[in-house]
Amino acid sequence: MASAEAVAAVVEAGGAHVPGLMRDLEERLATIAQSHGPTLGEHAGATIAAGGKRLRPLLVFVAAGPDPAGRDAALRAAVAVELVHSATLVHDDVLDAAVLRRGRPTVVASAGRSIATATGDLLFSRAFAELAGGGTVDPVRVLSDASSALVQGELLQREDAWKLQTTRERYLRRCDLKTARLFRAACELGALAGGGKVALLGEFGERIGLAFQILDDVLDVSGPAERTGKHRGTDLLDGTVTLPLILARERDPELERLDLRAVRTPEQAEGVCDAIAATGALGAAREEALAMVADAKADLPCLPEPSQQAALELVADSVVDRYS
Amino acid sequence: MASAEAVAAVVEAGGAHVPGLMRDLEERLATIAQSHGPTLGEHAGATIAAGGKRLRPLLVFVAAGPDPAGRDAALRAAVAVELVHSATLVHDDVLDAAVLRRGRPTVVASAGRSIATATGDLLFSRAFAELAGGGTVDPVRVLSDASSALVQGELLQREDAWKLQTTRERYLRRCDLKTARLFRAACELGALAGGGKVALLGEFGERIGLAFQILDDVLDVSGPAERTGKHRGTDLLDGTVTLPLILARERDPELERLDLRAVRTPEQAEGVCDAIAATGALGAAREEALAMVADAKADLPCLPEPSQQAALELVADSVVDRYS
């Protein structure tokens, strides 16, 4: 999803409050990055910039709705959610010894493990400080639960690495923990800020978060590299078993016997991607994700504001659009 | 400081509420460690156990005072402070690739960097969840500020590594950020829980935290190894310049010309420790710390409860006692 397009579409649908908030978000993130000395300023800034599309803050703003009374709380929540997201990216990069993220050098590559770990810890701390400044405690509970889930999801992924027999259920649990729970938190925090339906919006967020992760995993197999900015099959090279491979394994006996540890070069990984695609598993995985998005949208008519419903539908569609 | 002795002394001085809270603290920490699956349970449990003396929780309890109305908030605060302390230990061990802490294998040594980093992130998250459960937001602000300071202090230490010319002011700033601010937070959180004087108790905590760090740094030079459980001069081997060396450098031209990077073996480090001790710098550094403890105690007569004053004086003394 290109943020500018999604934001424009959301604004069109009745989210006139969103562009101002998105600008304030960037300003606030930049200020936070610069507030802890030059070293952290440089690297926290780079990490926040690498976060990219600001999909989670957008969810907060749309879930909060246009009431000016909730503006400050929505902005704090959006900042906090993006800081937690950025913190996990920088720690993931440390663990993966990643060199590039979105075409820029990672903090761990440019400044080393110490500074990268410290940068992540600082961003975590500032996320909670941001929420505390709002004066109510419920948002802190929501975000700390989501960030605990994130860590558990990350760990589950590492525990299951290289396990070809990973089940669909276990894969979905991992996606829920490492991705969907923060989407849920973004929507719940927006609902808390705007006085909206917390449970309904949270459920919506969790479903589109799950769809987002599945589609991201499909994209890693389907490519092409020009669109994702990386080779196909990076998950395979990390030993991460995702839904396309889980579904393909059931359809192709060759893949059922695959030795994941023998997949070592980008060329070998692309070969396995081709074998997965040949089974039709990519379309099947995409269908699962689209069904989740449809489920997510199905509850929205219960919202009192038609304009909020329309804006949320557009955000849900934008999760899907990048793969159409 | 041996916790059992310090607790006994505090109880004697009028802290009858403390032992029950210390027991509840251990129970609650164990429950949290076990609540996130077997992998994290094992390693979070090991990390929390490695935290050791529970000096920060003890500060929370004594600063909170005996009023049962503040009991729940004090317990939450103590748990949260200890979780943040544990999180920083496990991340420090990752960065230092440390093998042992207090004679036990570190998480990074027994489970690798991924699990250790995740364990630290989880402990951070649970600290804020614990405070959020208390229903008020001020504690979240206090703890998130302290944990941001901790990260900045850790980073300052790494930035200044191998810099023999580190000034006293810069050293004290580092100690304040990496140690004293969490002591301050412990006292402030206790004061918030017990309805006490937040600013006065916070100041007290910061001063004894600073003294604690200086004395810890003295102990690294003075040894003996049987008491600290490690060789003398480990800071020198890490390139960490502390107050004893800063003071000794001004007294001994040989040390002024020391090439820190040439100090590579435990034997060489012990040789430098001997040279530092010979200048009398250890006594001078100890004096500075004792003066800070005296300053900290000087404000305590403003407290309305003489028994709380006595208990806090004992905690302050216990920081000093381990070096007497």
Q: Residue holding tokens 């010319």?
A: B165
Cβ–Cβ contact B148 with A under 8 A: yes
pLDDT digits (tens, 9 = 90+) for B143-164: 999 999 999 998 899 889 999 9
Q: Tell me which DSSP letter residue A265 carries.
A: S
* ipTM of predicted complex: 0.88
Contacts of B134 in chain A (CB under 8 A): 137
Residue whose pair of structure tokens reads 């890693």 in the numeric block? A220
Residue B288 has pLDDT above 70, yes or no: yes
Q: For the purposes of burial, counting CB atoms within 10 Å of the CB of A305, is it exposed (0-12), middle (13-18) or buried (19 or more)?
A: middle
Q: What is the pLDDT of residue B2?
A: 46
Can you give the pLDDT at residue A163? 96
Question: What's the number of domains chain A is made of?
Answer: 1
Per-residue pLDDT of B155-194, as tens digits, reads 899 889 999 999 999 999 999 999 999 999 999 999 999 9
H or E stretch including B124? helix B113-132
At B222-262, the pLDDT tens digits run: 986 555 556 899 999 999 999 999 999 999 999 999 999 99
Question: How would you classify the pairing of strands B100-101 and B104-105?
Answer: antiparallel
Residues of chain A with pLDDT under 50: 1-2, 324
Q: Is B138 on the interface with A (CB under 8 A)?
A: yes
Residue with tokens 């923060």: A182
Paired sense of beta strands A104-105 and A100-101, if any: antiparallel
User: Which residue from A173, A164, A160 is spatially nearest to A249, judged by alpha carbons?
Assistant: A164
Return the CATH number at B79. Answer: 1.10.600.10
Would you say residue A292 lies in a domain? yes
The pLDDT of residue B322: 63
Task: Decide if A99 is inside a domain.
Answer: yes
On whether the CB atoms of residues A125 and B151 are closer than 8 A, the answer is yes
CB–CB of A143/A128 below 8 Å? Answer: yes
Residue A139: closest C-alpha in chain B: B132
Selecting from B39, B115, B152 the residue whose C-beta is nearest the C-beta of A37 gives B152
Reduced to 3 DSSP states, what percent helix, strand and coil does chain A have, rounded to the nearest 5?
Answer: 80, 0, 20
Q: Is the pLDDT confidence value at B138 over 60?
A: yes
Asked whether B217 and B92 are in contact (CB, 8 A), the reply is: no
- Chain A residue whose CA is closest to B146: A125
Q: Residue B140: exposed, middle, or buried by beta-carbon count in 10 A (0-12, 13-18, 19+)? A: buried
Is residue B228 in some structural domain? no
- Residue partners of B193: CB distance under 8 A and separation at least 6: B60, B64, B70, B71, B73, B74, B76, B77, B139
Sorting pLDDT into bands at 50, 70 and 90, what band is B9? Answer: confident
Structural domain range at position A148: 3-317
Indicate whether A71 belongs to any domain.
yes
Residue A21 CB contacts under 8 Å (≥ 6 apart), including other chains: A57, A61, A71, A74, A75, A78
Instruction: Identify the bridge partners of residue B100 per DSSP, sorted by sequence position.
Output: B105
DSSP letter for B53, please: S
Tell whether A25 is covered by a domain.
yes
The answer to whether position B77 is within a domain reads yes
Chain A residues close to B94, C-beta within 8 Å: 113, 117
Q: Does A42 contact B at CB distance below 8 Å?
A: no
Tally the C-alpha atoms within 13 A of residue A279's C-alpha that lie toward its C-beta.
23
Instruction: State pLDDT tens for residues A265-315.
Output: 999 999 999 999 999 999 999 999 999 999 999 989 888 888 899 999 999
In the prediction, which pLDDT does A226 show?
59
The contacts of residue A108 (CB under 8 Å, 6+ apart) are A90, A93, A94, A97, A98, A116
Q: Give the distance from CA A171 to its chain's centroid.
A: 16
- Residue B194 belongs to a domain: no
Where do we find the tokens 């940068």? Answer: A119
The residue assigned the tokens 């030795």 is A259
Q: Which value, to the nearest 10 degrees, does the dihedral of the CA atoms of residues A215, A219, A221, A225 take?
A: -170
- The answer for B258, left when phi > 0, alpha when psi is -120 to 50, beta otherwise, is beta
What band does B1 get if pLDDT is binned at 50, 70 and 90? very low
* Residue B15, pLDDT score: 79
Q: Is residue B276 part of a domain?
A: no
Question: What pLDDT is stored for residue B48 in this prediction?
Answer: 84
Among B39, B91, B144, beta carbon nearest to A117: B91
Both structure tokens of B247:
């003071």
Reported as a single tens digit per residue, the pLDDT across A27-54 is: 999 999 888 878 778 888 888 877 678 9
Length of chain B: 324
Pairwise CB contact (< 8 Å): B158 & A115:
yes
Band of the pLDDT at B324, cuts 50, 70, 90? Answer: very low
Q: In chain B, which residues have their Cβ closer than 8 Å to the Cβ of A147?
A: 121, 124-125
Query: SS3 breakdown of chain B: % helix, strand, coil, rounded to 5?
Result: 75, 0, 20
